[in-house]
Each structure stands twice: as C-alpha cells, then as structure tokens.
Amino acid sequence: MQAILKGLMAAAVALAASNASAATIEDVKKNGILTCGTNSATAGFSLPDNEGKWTGFVVDYCRAVAAAVLGDAQKVRFIPLTPKDRFTALQSGEIDILAHNATWTSSRDTSLGILFAGTYFYDGQGFMVRKAENIGSAKDLDGASICVTQGTTTELNLADYFRSHSISYSTVGFADEEAVVKAYEEGRCDVLSADSSTLNASRQRMANSDDSIVLPELISKEPLGPAVRQGDDHWFNVAKWTLLVMVSAEELGVTSQNVDEMKSSENPNIRRLLGVEGSIGKDLGLADTWSVDVIKQVGNYGEVFDRNIGKDSPLKMERGLNALWNQGGLQYAPPVR
Amino acid sequence: MSGHSLHSPLANSSLLPPTAPPWRIRRSPAAWMRKNLFSTPFSGVLTICFTALAAWLLYQLLSFAVFDAVWTGGQEECRANPDGACWPFIVEKFDYLRYGAYPVAERWRVDLTLIIGAVLIVWLLWKRAPQRNVAALLFFIAYPVVAFVLLRGVASLNLPVIDTVLWGGLLITLLMSVVGIVFSLPIGVLLALGRRSELPLVRAVCVIFIEVVRGVPFITVLFMANFMMPLFVPDYLTPDRLLRPLIAIALFSSAYMAEVVRAGLQAIPKGQYEAAKALGLSYFTIMRLIILPQALTIVIPGIVSTFIGLFKDTTLVAIVGIADFLRAVETARVDPNWAGPTISSTGYLFAGLVYWIFCFGMSRYSQAMEREFARGHKS
Amino acid sequence: MSEVLLAPRSLWSLSLHDAKVRGVLYQVLLAGSLLALVVSIAIQTASNMRARGIPLSFGFWNETAGFDINQTLIPYDTLSTYGQAFWVGVVNTLYVSLLGIVLATLLGFVVGIARLSPNWIVAKVAASYVEVIRNVPLLLQLLFWYNAVLKPLPTPRASIELPGGIYLNNRGLIIPEIQLHEGAGSVGLAFLAGTMLCFAYRFHARRVQDRTGKQLPVLRVSLAALIGLPLIVFFLVGSPVSFVTPELRGFNFRGGHQLYPEFAALLIGLSAYTASFIAEIVRSGIQAVPKGQTEAAHALGLAPGKTLRLVTVPQALRIIIPPLTSQYLNLTKNSSLAVFIGYPDLVQIFAGTVLNQTGAAVQVMAITLSVYLAISLVTSMVMNAFNRRFAIVER
C-alpha cells in the first residue's frame, strides 16, 4: 500500500511540476489569443458596446500587444475586472496582462507579485462636486460623503490627504466603478473622487453632466500603466517595449497611415524601429514585423490617445503631461537600437 | 389555481355520487364571511386592517406598473414621468437582457437551443406525455451536446465559434440553472450515500465536503474559482471562465442536495434494506431499485426548493463579472441615455417578475407532484 | 489500516468478491487520490506563488491599512492595521447577522402563524408575502431596497424630519445621540436588579403553582420589575440622560447616530427574505403538532393564545429548530452579499480591500473561509445543545 501511496505522490508532484515554468508568451502563442484584463466600463479607456466589441485607450494597448505577439490586433479576449479583483486575477494567471487604470506604486511592484511595465497615462487624483454646492477647493469638503472605488489608490490618498489637512469625511466604497458613479449621481455622496481622467470619463456617462464640476486640486501622482506577473522577464519586456515603440513611433512621425512608406525611410532610427535594420524583433522573440503590425493595426501613441480620449474623442482631454518629452510632456521612450 | 385548493379533495373523486353537503358547510357568502373574516371582534379588526393593506399595496403596484406607466414613447417621456414604470426602456433593452453581447446575427442559435430545451422539459415533466423515458434520454444525453454545438459553435458545421465571454443575459441564467440542476442531483445523491456509507473514510470525506461547502458563502467560492484557480492547478486543467462558475454552482448545490436526500434516506424503514439484502441484491441494485426511488419521492419538495435556491443563486455570478440576467439589468439601468427617475424600479420590477415566474412555476409543479404521490399512496 | 484487517498470510486468499476487501480497497484508493490531489494543489500553489513573488506570510497583519471604513463598531482609523480592519469586518458581519436573525425570527413567526390564521384575508396576505419574497433572488431584493427605495430619499438639506429630532435622508437615518450623565449607572443597576427580581418571582410563582395550583400574574410583575423599577430610579436620580440632536452643518448632519442606507438595505433585505423561509418552517412545524393536542387544550379551557403559547409552540419548536438553525446560517452567509451594496462586512473589507492592498490572496481567503466555517460550527453546536434540551425524553 505504501508503494501505491508513493506512486500517487510522485504523480502529484509530476503533475504540479510540469507547469513550473511560466513563459506567458509561449502560452499566448499556443492559444492564439491574448487574455487581457481591463476596466469593466470607463468611457474612453475601456468600454464594450452592446455587441461586446471593446474600444478605448487601454483596450488599444492590449490590441497593440496582441499585434506584436500574434500579428493580429483582434486576437484579444477582454476580461472586465473591478479594481478590487484586478491584481488577484493577474497574480493567479487568469489574465496574461493587466491593462487597467491601475496606478504604478512601489508596494504594488514589490509585494503583489506583479510588475508595472511603464506608464501609458500620467494622471492625478481629483474631486468632482455638484455645482450647486458652491465649493471652490478640496479644503472646503469638511464633513462630506465621498464615493470611491474599492481597491484603488484613491482610497488611500483620500485618507492621507484628509488626515494631513485635518478635515473630516466619510467614504462610501463600492467594488464596481459604475456603481460608484451611479451612487454619486443619485446623491448618495457629495463628492466623487478618482483619477481625473476617470472623472472626465465618468462625466460622459452621467445624465446631467453639466451639474457637476471638477475641483482644481490634484492631490496625488497617478502614473497609470500596464502590469504583468513577476518572474517572466521576457513577457515584461514585450509589454514594456510595445508601449515604448508606440511612443517612439509618434516621436519619429510614423503613423498607421504612413508606416509602409516609412519602411523605406533613410532615417536609421525609423529603420530600426520598423525592423528594417537591427534585430529587436528577434531579440524579443517576436516576428521582425512586430512593430509594423502594432503601428499599422493600432497606431502610434498619439493616434491612440487622440482617437480614444484626446481631440478626436468626446472626452477631448489635453495631452498635458502625456505629450511627448520634446513637446513639454513626460512621454519619453529610450532609443530603439 | 387558488380556486382549486378551496374544493375538498373528495370533490375530485369521480367514484362518489354528488351529494348535497351537510347544512353547516353549505356556504352563503355572508355565512362564509362571518366564519372566515369576522368570527371575533379581533378578527374583524384584522380583516379590515389587512384588506386595507392589501388593497393599498395592490393599488400602488398597479398604478406604478400599469396606470401611471409610460407605454409608448422613449427616453424623454420616461424622464418626464416620476410616478410610473418606463416600459419602453425594457422594450429597447429586451434583446440585451436576453442574449447579452451574443452576436446579433447568431442569436437564432440561442433561440433554437432554448426552444428545444423548453420542448424537452415540457415533454419530460408533463405527466401524460408519451415516451417520457425517451425525453429523459434526449434531455440528459443528446441535449447538452446539441446545446453546446449550437451555442458555442463548431466552425466545420458553418457555425462560427462564439467566445463565452460574449454570452450574457437570460441565456447565462438559464444555462447555469439547467446545468446546475442536471448535475447537482446525481452528485448530491452520491454524497448522501457516501455520508451514510459503512466505510469510515468515505463517510468522513463526504461529511467534510458537505459541511465545508455549506459553511462558506457562495460568492467567496466563486471568487476563488474565477480569480485564483490558475494559482492552484496547472493551466491545462483550468477550465473556461464560464465553465468554472458552472462547476462551482453544481458542486455547491450538490452539498445542499445531499442533505435533502439524506433526510429521505433516513425516512426509509430499515426493514426495506434488510429485506432487499435478504433477497441477495447488491448494494447498488438495492439503492437503484428500492431505496432511492422511495427516498427521492419523499423529498421532492426539498429537491425542488434546492433547485429554486440554485436558480436564485445564479445571480451571484455577477461578482466575477459574468453578465447574467440580473447583471444585464444592472448594466442597462446605469445607461445614461435612460436616466429617468423610475428606471431602476422598472428594471428591478421586470427582473423580479422574470425570476418569480420561474421560481413560482417550479414550486407549483413540485406541489402538484406531491399531491399526485400523496393520492397514489392512499389508493 | 489494511495491515490491521488483513493477516499477511491470508492476503492472497482473499478475493475482490469479498465486500470487506473491496471496502478497504475503495478507501485506500479514495485516500490516495485525495492525498495526491491535496499535495499537488499545495505544491502547485506554493511554487506558483514563489515564482510570481507573491507573499507567502501573514506579515501584512500588522501593517498600516491606510484606508477608511465608514461604519465601525470598534475603534478604527486610517492608521490602524490590516488586522484591525479584519476585526472591523468580523464585527460588522456579526452585527448585521445577529440583528437580521432577531428581526427575521420575529417576522417569520408572525407570518408563519398568520398563514394558519382562521381569518381568510390574514392567511392570504401572509401566503402572498411568502410566495413573493421566497421566489425572488435575495441579491435582486437587496439591490431593490438600496437603489430603488433608500437612495432616492431626499438629500440631507431636504431631509424628512421625524418627531424626536430624527432625520431621514439618502445618507441614512440620523437619530439623536444619547449622552449619559452621572447617575446613569444606577439606572443600569436598577435594570439588573429588576431582571433578577423577575427570575426570582418566576421561580416563586412556579413553586406556588406546583403547591396550590394558583397562577400568579408573572407577566405583569415581570414587566413592572423590568421597566418600572429602572424608570423610578431614572427619575429619582434626576434624568441622567440627555440627547444630542443632530443638526445640518455643511454637507451632512453632525452629532447623532447615523444608520447608513447600505446597512439598512442589507438588514431589511436579509430579514425580509429569511423571514419568508422561517414562516414556512413555523407553519409546517405547527401543522405537524397533532390536532388532538389543540383540541385537548381547548377542552381544558385554555384560550387560543395560551394554547398556542403553552401547547402548540413548544411542541412545534422541536420540529422547527433544526431547519431554523440552517436558516440562521444561511442569513449569516448571505450577509456577504454586502459587497454588492457597499456595506463593509468581512468579505467587503477583508476579502476585498485588504486582499487587494496586500496581494495575499491565498492567506486572506483562507482566513475569511475559516471565519465563516467557525461561525457555522459554533451556531450548529449551540443549536444542537438547544435542540437536545427541547427533545422529547422518550420513556
């Protein structure tokens, strides 16, 4: 009988060990589809329509990764996640990559088993109040009820800010972002607090958006970025460089329209970016045309920004901090070489 | 329905010649009222209070749902009406509530699946239908395959594959319930038998499973199934995201089912086992032919109420982001285009009605079966 | 195990047709596969967690939580630890569950007894209540209470003012805060004394009844002792209680106790839902008491109310208690639906925010499940003990 037990144990160990290596890129290629965790409904960033087609800024990032790895921007399965559940889903391997409005912080990089692969949107936390309250500053919010989404840095920043300014407040937290906005709209709270991009996006989904204003203060730094699991450097590089290539493309003037012509450009930077020279694609374990696929099928950073949240979208957000470094912003890509 | 229950059971029997009831039971409306509504002064006061309460509630409901409701028009009319339900909202969202994001061009597949299912269920449950064992065979063996092929699709049959993340609405609710119902009963029976087994280890395992499952909230199990599972098992053993809550719900209900079945098993007199054993029948034959048919018949009400519980519990899959019917109602409710004052109430009223019809239907069917069996025993 | 049962020499002479051998074989197989399953899951989990750098320890317990919880019964602020946040969640879960159990029991008994009322309309209204509430998902009912009933209440500035300085608005029910002054302790002591007096009098009354058959007015004397005595002391020491009435300042009311709409919706929903099941349990329990019992009681001249209280209910309780226990447990587990409407219970705080902030998913879920299992086991044990006391002593 001991022999039977030993055999079973060995089988168990073998079963478990067979999955010890975690090469996400191999899984993605094998399955032929990228599983991407996104916001469940944030206009401009990630929003499904009635037919289940997803659009938005972070959605396009996922499509870019799919284009890079699989050569097809449509081969993405989107898993809507609440902020509360997003890191657990990434940790466990439920999703391949997290493209959420998630803030890059030190503790998330160190203790959650995940790594942020860059910043696709520089943001800050703000407040939205009803105009009728005649509030001019966050310091006038004494005694207010504030709606926040659970599991966000918003929750933590609020506590810091109000404690350091000795202002009393009470939070009303929900797991679901839609529930938070709805609770504010229905008057359950006086204030809605979130990243200012989310506040703007939420406005789009409010019935009476003109009744509310966003206060001038931004109380925190919120660099939003994609995240991957720790312990898979290869995949981390793919996630990081997909974003950086999009930024470089904008800097070098390569767009989804002109990418094919640009391949015959004389500029060595462009030639390297598009894989005409050098071997970055091969080094990343991707096809040589990976960057062309990304830019052609999804666009460069500026195109994605304008289309979803910038000047060509209903949100009409300024580039601001998200302009390129040579245009007064923070978006800066290390050289491709 | 309620008219039925007022008759005495004897009235149904065709064997008895109709006789005039004795004079004390013959009811004039006044006598009936005196007896049933105003037997004592206290009873009279209660009657008045409760009649007023019932009338008020009914009036509120009717005026909200019918008299003051918006029947035609659109978003503008609904926004202008703070008193009544907004039915155009339901009409516009009706497709979304039924199919979720299932591609429009392929929705006939869902309809077809549901129609086949409905026909089979009616065939299976209708007492006087012919060949009910064929229906059972079709429903339990052939139907799941057909449903899978139709809903998910097989490329070679010219049915495009529809990813399960697109499934939603009533489709999900019904799918979860049917799968849960089909699997929870057999697993529950096995667990119940295991709990009464003579093998101590089998018993212990079943007891632990049943008690642990019954001791924890369902949403925590769902959370672990859908967000943490790849942490526990290798990738190739991780089922589809829609399948996992299905498994969870079936296992979860089976633990409750096991307790119901156990009560039935306990009610079977020991003599039955002993007689069957004396005949030299094996354990499984005894169970299959003698014990289980009796035990399950006794606990039909319990089984059906477990089914009803399961049906209602499917709403909890919303916690893992699966768009079941209730979740679809919630999504529709927060649509800014339909931000009328009564949108929430309308959505909930409609959802409540849909769930109620299914649950009430099930409970009525079980009551009818119970009566049937009760009659069978008496004759 | 098999070594004990099988003598080594007879091992080969036994065949698979022997039920005992088969039994042992089944169990060995079951044990083996379960063990393999558990071990492989444990290995898989540990290796995955290590590979991904997920914390394996409980070190987060004493770290600063840094987030705010709006409804706490025990001290908590943003500088408290995750461990304290856990306790806030446990207490909130227990609080809403206990209140829910009390309300559901009261309502359930009333409805259950009303269903058996000889009064036709009372019985029908009670039956409709049960059939409607029982057949609609609890989650839907909670969402309804929260989103369709409580949230549309007026804003704080347009609060509904109720008598006694109570305000109702979409931030909840705000009631005056009770402040105790010197001498309040003596009122408490008087209540304690009253309670003891009650017990003493009941004991006395029973002895008198046993000896002489005379019934003493226990109820009236008990009420007098329980309410009257503290009331007299209350006025003697000069009403040592004052009320802080809430007043509207800025956004919200200041002062007073606030009953949040999230809590209220959960409590109402849970109680109403569970009450419909308890009503059915009570009804079938009472119906199971043989009719002869009631008739005998009537023949002895007991009034209907007394018959119910002294004859029917005590017997029905024996049938009622086991299913009632599982309803109590269901209510406790169902309180986890708080996550859908934002009440900070154990699942919302601990398995929600804390899990998210610390990333310790496995540990947090293990603790959460253990808490519910512990509640379940303790309740079962208590109710089993209660049940034993009520069980008929077979002669």
B229 CB neighbours in chain A (<8 A) are 92, 94
Q: What is the pLDDT of residues A277-288, one digit of tens each?
A: 888 888 899 998
Mean pLDDT value across residues B23-49: 78
Predicted local distance difference test score (pLDDT) of residue A19? 45
Q: Does B161 touch chain A (CB under 8 A)?
A: no
Q: Whose CA is closest to C100, among C340, C260, C335? A: C335
pLDDT beyond 60 at A29: yes
Closest alpha carbon within chain A to B92: A50
User: pLDDT by residue (tens digit) across C241-273?
Assistant: 777 778 887 788 887 788 899 999 999 999 999
Check residue C102 and give its pLDDT: 96
Mutate to test the interface with B, among A5, A150, A174, A176 (most CBs of B within 10 A): A176
Report residue A226's pLDDT band, with 50, 70 and 90 as the boundaries.
very high
Would the CB atoms of A160 and C147 count as touching at under 8 Å? no
**What's the rounded Cα separation, in Å, for the pair A199 and A213?**
10
CA distance B212 to B215: 5
For C48, name the nearest residue in chain A, comparing CA atoms only.
Answer: A20
Q: What is the pTM of this model?
A: 0.87
Query: Residue A305's pLDDT is what?
Result: 96
pLDDT value at residue C3: 46
Which one is the CATH code of A125-220: 3.40.50.1000, 3.30.750.200, 3.40.190.10, 3.40.50.720? 3.40.190.10
Average pLDDT over residues A272-299: 91
pLDDT tens over chain C, length 395 residues:
444 444 454 555 556 667 778 888 888 888 899 999 899 888 888 888 888 878 788 889 999 988 888 888 889 988 899 999 999 999 999 999 999 999 999 999 999 999 988 888 999 999 999 999 999 999 999 999 998 889 888 888 888 888 878 888 888 888 888 777 777 788 888 888 888 988 898 888 888 888 888 877 888 888 888 888 888 888 888 777 777 778 887 788 887 788 899 999 999 999 999 999 999 999 989 888 888 888 898 898 888 788 888 888 888 888 888 888 889 999 999 999 999 998 999 999 999 899 988 888 899 999 999 999 999 988 888 877 877 776 655 44
Smallest CA-to-CA distance from C267 within C343, C320, C198 is with C343
Provide the mean pLDDT of chain A.
Answer: 88
Every domain of chain A with CATH number 3.40.190.10 lies at 23-122+224-321, 125-220
Which pLDDT belongs to residue B11?
45
**B100 near A CB under 8 A:** yes
Residue B166 contacts A where some CB pair is shorter than 8 Å:
yes
Give C351's Cβ-side CA count (13 Å radius): 29
Q: Are A77 and B163 an interchain contact pair (Cβ–Cβ within 8 Å)?
A: yes
Read off the DSSP letter of residue B290: I
Residues B206-237: tens digit of each pLDDT: 999 999 999 999 999 999 888 888 888 877 77
Over residues B264-283, mean pLDDT: 86
Mean pLDDT of chain B: 84
Q: With cut-offs at 50, 70 and 90, classify the pLDDT of residue A202.
A: confident
Q: Give the pLDDT score at A7.
A: 55
Interface contact C329, partner B, CB < 8 A: yes
Question: What letter does residue B338 receive in the DSSP assignment?
Answer: G
Q: What is the 3-state secondary structure (H, E, C) of chain C?
A: CHHHHCCHHHHCCCCCCCHHHHHHHHHHHHHHHHHHHHHHHHHHHHHHHHHCCCCCCCHHHHCECCCCCCCCCCCCCCCCEHHHHHHHHHHHHHHHHHHHHHHHHHHHHHHHHHHCCCCHHHHHHHHHHHHHHHCCCHHHHHHHHHHHHHCCCCCHHHCEEECCCEEEECCEEEECEEEECCCHHHHHHHHHHHHHHHHHHHHHHHHHHHHHCCCCCHHHHHHHHHHHHHHHHHHHCCCCEEEECCEEECCEEECCEEECHHHHHHHHHHHHHHHHHHHHHHHHHHHCCCHHHHHHHHHCCCCHHHHHHHHHHHHHHHHHHHHHHHHHHHHHHHHHHHHHHCCCCHHHHHHHHHHHHHCCHHHHHHHHHHHHHHHHHHHHHHHHHHHHHHCCCCC
Average pLDDT over residues A127-141: 89
* Chains in touch with A (≥3 Cβ pairs < 8 A): B, C
Closest CA of chain B from A303, distance in Å:
28
C152 touches chain A (CB under 8 A): yes
Three-state DSSP at A191 gives: strand
Q: What is the pLDDT of residues B230-267, one digit of tens each?
A: 888 877 777 777 888 888 999 999 999 999 998 888 88
CB contact under 8 A, C135 and B198: no
Residue among A19, A77, A85 whose CB faces B234 most closely: A19
Report the residue of chain C nearest A146, measured CA to CA. C70
Does residue B113 carry a pLDDT above 50?
yes
Residue in the block written with tokens 């926040």: A148
- The pLDDT of residue B25: 57
pLDDT of residue A17: 44
Task: Indicate yes or no: CB of B227 within 8 angstroms of CB of A94.
Answer: yes
Mutation site for A-interface testing, chosen from C81, C249, C353 by largest number of A Cβ within 10 Å: C353
Domains, chain C? 2-49 (no CATH), 82-176+245-390 (1.10.3720.10), 177-244 (no CATH)
Q: What percent of chain B has pLDDT over 70?
A: 92
Give Cα separations from A152 to B329, C62, C357 (angstroms): 26, 20, 8
- Whether chain C has a CB inside 8 Å of the CB on A15: the answer is yes
Residue C25 has a pLDDT of 86
Residue B274 has pLDDT above 70, yes or no: yes
pLDDT at residue B134, as a whole number? 85
| pLDDT one-digit tens code per residue, B140-179 | 888 888 888 888 888 888 888 888 888 888 999 998 898 8
Residues 6+ apart with CB under 8 A from C395: none
Chain A: residue nearest B93 by CA?
A50
Q: Across the interface, which of A107, A113, A142 has its CB nearest the CB of C54?
A: A113
Task: Provide, as residue numbers in chain C, all residues whose Cβ is less than 8 Å from the Cβ of A171.
Answer: 67-70
- Best mutation site among B35, B221, B223, B367 for testing chain C: the one with the most C CBs within 10 Å? B223
Q: Rounded to 5 degrees, what are φ and ψ at A125?
A: -85, 135
ipTM: 0.86
Task: Quote the pLDDT of residue B3.
Answer: 40
**A1/C2 Cβ within 8 A:** yes
The predicted pLDDT at position A307 comes to: 94
Alpha-carbon span B162 to B151, nearest angstrom: 7
Please answer yes or no on whether C67 and A92 come within 8 Å at the CB atom.
no
pLDDT-derived band at B199 (thresholds 50, 70, 90) equals: confident
Q: What is the mean pLDDT of residues B52-74?
A: 89
pLDDT digits (tens, 9 = 90+) for B321-359: 888 999 889 888 877 778 778 888 899 999 999 999 999
Pick the CATH number of A23-122+224-321 from 3.10.450.50, 3.90.25.10, 3.40.190.10, 3.40.30.10: 3.40.190.10
The answer to whether residue B101 neighbours chain A at the CB level (below 8 Å) is yes
